Amino acid sequence: MFALQIDAILGETSIHRRRQKLHQEANGLHEVYAATLDRIRRQRGDKPRLAMEVLLWVSLAQRPLSVCELCDALAVEIGSADLNTENTPPIQTLLGSCLGLVTVDKEMSRVRLIHSTLQEYLQAHTSLFGNGHAKIAEVCLTYLSFSPVRALPLSMGRLPANMPFLIYLHTTGDTIQGSKGQSH
């Protein structure tokens, strides 16, 4: 799809006409994104909630999340004392619920949006996630309050492999603290 759009833009004969075509194509993509989000909302069961949480995390996270980090974050239940590993959704379920808007970079095993224009679209439509950063902060604080996390020694050479979301928290902790008052 994107290759065809780029060909159409490059096929224009002047800078002005290329800019016009680029603007038209961007508007067309926004319509595709809006229609896909509408299809996401009409899915059965818990898939709409799950898809919107995936999009929230992938679009607002401080850095790209690994597959394990995202799945671990999505397993967190606010108010719970511990992580229920049976609540961890499989990556194929996450990808399927997002109807093609999210993919996994196989080389880096990072979850990402399909295109930078989707990031722009989601940033322009902040109402999709309500207080997205506050939701992320609440998940982070809940995870940090889990008894296995609290039981860890303060200084560790290596983080436990069975707590992938803790790696994300460790690498983004300063940024998360700085965004406590933000809500997008």
Residues 132 and 51 in one domain: yes
Residues 143 and 95 in one domain: yes
Torsion of CA 119, 120, 125, 127, to 10 degrees: 40
Q: Which amino acid is at 2?
A: F
Q: Which residues are registered as beta bridge partners of 155? A: none
> In the predicted model, is pLDDT for residue 47 greater than 60?
yes
pLDDT of residue 176: 46
Whether 91 is in a domain gets the answer yes
pLDDT of residue 180: 47
Task: Give pLDDT tens digits for 77-117.
Answer: 999 989 898 999 999 999 999 999 999 998 999 999 998 88
Residues 8 and 77 in one domain: no
Instruction: For residue 55, give both structure tokens.
Output: 């999009």
Residues 65 and 142 in one domain: yes
Percent of the chain with pLDDT over 90: 55
Percent of the chain with pLDDT over 70: 85
> In the predicted model, is pLDDT for residue 159 greater than 50?
yes
pLDDT of residue 16: 84
> In the predicted model, is pLDDT for residue 23 greater than 60?
yes
> 124 Cβ partners below 8 Å, 6+ apart?
none
Tell me the average pLDDT of the chain.
85
Answer with the one of 26, 42, 58 that is the final residue of a domain.
Answer: 42
Mean pLDDT of 50-61: 98
Residues 104 and 64 in one domain: yes
pTM of the model: 0.80
Q: Residue 175: which pLDDT band, with cuts at 50, 70 and 90?
A: very low
Burial of 12 by CB count in 10 Å (0-12 exposed, 13-18 middle, 19+ buried)? middle
Higher pLDDT among residues 24 and 167, named by residue: 167
pLDDT of residue 26: 65
Residues 37 and 122 in one domain: no
Mean pLDDT of 116-122: 92
b/e code 54-82 from CB counts within 10 Å (16+ = b): bbbbbbbbbebbbbbbbbbbbbbeeeeee
